[in-house]
Structure 1
Amino acid sequence: MRPTEIKKALELLVPLGQPAFVWGAPGVGKSQIVAQTARLLGRELVDLRAVLLDPVDLRGIPKIGQDDVARWCPPSFLPRCGSGILFLDELNAAPPLVQAACYQLVLDRKLGEYELPAGWTVVAAGNRESDRAVTHRMPSALANRFVHLDFEPSVEDWIAWAQQENMPEELVAFIRFRPSLLHCFDPSGPEKAFPSPRTWEYAGRIVQSRPEEALEYALLKGTVGEGAAAEFTGFCRLCRDLPEPEAVLAAPDSAPVPEEPAVLYALCEALARAMNPATMDGLVRYASRLPAEFGVLLVRGAAARDKAVLDSGAFTRWATANAQVLF
């Protein structure tokens, strides 16, 4: 399932109180999707790393009451009121005894004398055994208590997220140009760093800080791996030699049109970000001079950033002239 589909599934399951387990490779963004769902639903999020817990951590400790009867004191991290998501991250990496301690919590919403409040839902996540991450086989009794969702990275979803988060335009353009590098994970490989949605986010923060060139490559190599870092830094050098987007939009009929696909990807991303309603006519005129697929990419990118573009006369004329490409 794509990230947007995972989010829709959680938006349905969480209000129902139905436990769900999100499976996916390292770095694809499982934890982030759960956090986004909690924010969207207006619910609190309690994030527990199950791998760091002991069975007694969940049950708490006993105390003797005035009636000389021992009662369990649940830990402070378990919710007691309100509504939210109790997120058991890396659950299948936890020791079997910790997983066993979760049986009752997941199915019966209880743990000893503790009871999960009515407004709370258990969601868990973990890596697949095939990813060769640290995992323990999940007992069937626990697995049967969840709705299982398989997380698959999506270039389109990641680009939409990256634009919303104002990731560097050269990074967004690079992932458009080399979509296979969004997530390139070989479980049998020796590399410590590899491209993933999570590490590309780290890479974007590094690029935004504008380190010197040699340091930038070293940092990117340690973030997304040597091969991806080499391709990305080369791509960035091309991007930084592009004409100013404002100059292109000011003279759309005479501005040069690059021939290299990599440069066109970068220029389309830069123009889409620089566009405003006043320059929409110039953007459409320049888009008409580009190869058809890049013209569509440019106009769609502009529309994604400002929906008002769709109501402009310039867009209507362009869409009419390019109907055979759009539909």
Structure 2
Amino acid sequence: MDALSVAVAANLPVLLWGAPGTGKTSAVLALGQRLGLPVEVVVGSIREPSDFAGLPVLRDRETWFAPPRWAERLAAAGTGILFLDELTTAPPAVQAAMLRVVLERAVGDLALPPSVRIVAAANPPEQAADGWDLSAPLANRLIHLDWTVSAESVAEGFIGGFPAPAAPLGQVGGALAGRARALVGAFLRVRPELVLAVPDGPARAWPSPRTWELAATALACTSALTPTQGPSLDVISGPVAYERVEVAGPGMERVRAELVVGAVGEAAGFELLSWLRDLDLPDPATLLADPTAPLPDRVDRVHAVLGSVVAHVAADGSTDAWQRAWTVIGRVARRTPDVAATAARSLAARRPHGATLPQAVLELAPVLRSAGLMP
């Protein structure tokens, strides 16, 4: 339930897998009520492709793909949760029509507001009435969470009432989001074969550039949720105030694992989490402030450090930070010029308006030429 709350707060499309009658729909409705968001429940098994692709009608001598009423209500509200229920009972044609809705928030010719969250629920095909396997393109657009219940939680719910999912809050813009993307990018440099691994048959989560993007957002969001933050921070999708949940330590580690593995699958997800656990990276601000601060020796860690530095500079936006970053790149260039060249290209693209080139750039001439930034 914590992972569901974090996914909704971060505007990550999520799919709950669970047996019938385990409270998936109730949890989503309770979360929407707690957040003050309208919830539109759309059951895939009783819908047609036109309910997602739009019904073609003639308007002003042009064809208009008219959206259904549930989409118009969400658009009018400006926010909300679109709950796609019984996904595995939707036939392949309906699943195909859902693709644009999940990825682009588009229903026919109507664009849903960016703050509309996508939550889906499904029974395993063998437990669903006339169940269908989830199509690979649709599965690759969602974070997959296994929805399980314990006898203890059910017993406590009947005695004391079932709790509504909490609504987390975190600051996940700028440096945090950039650092998470840099870490995922550094990992994929070490394991390039995990960038894309299309399954041969029906599958849930599997790695692709799209799902690595979901994993990076999950990393950034769970890194932001700490007990020390105040209640006025913004979530990654915009300035929407949510009541904060205290999830930290082992609990947040588990939520992070649920979301990352739910995005890219068990093999790739646990390998990324293990790699991140072994990293011991210096803080980017410390490196910019102290030219003699030690740098890691391993190449993958150097990639991660420079990516974090560039992300920090991009979020900071100041000329001073941008100029200091060239000193860090210069130190790396003396040992691993190819790694420095990649970071130099990213840093050069983020040059603040009016910033002058520091003296360190002249020492990097060979590296800049190899990066195509200097004749």
TM-score of the superposition, structure 2-length normalised?
0.41
TM-score of the superposition, structure 1-length normalised?
0.47
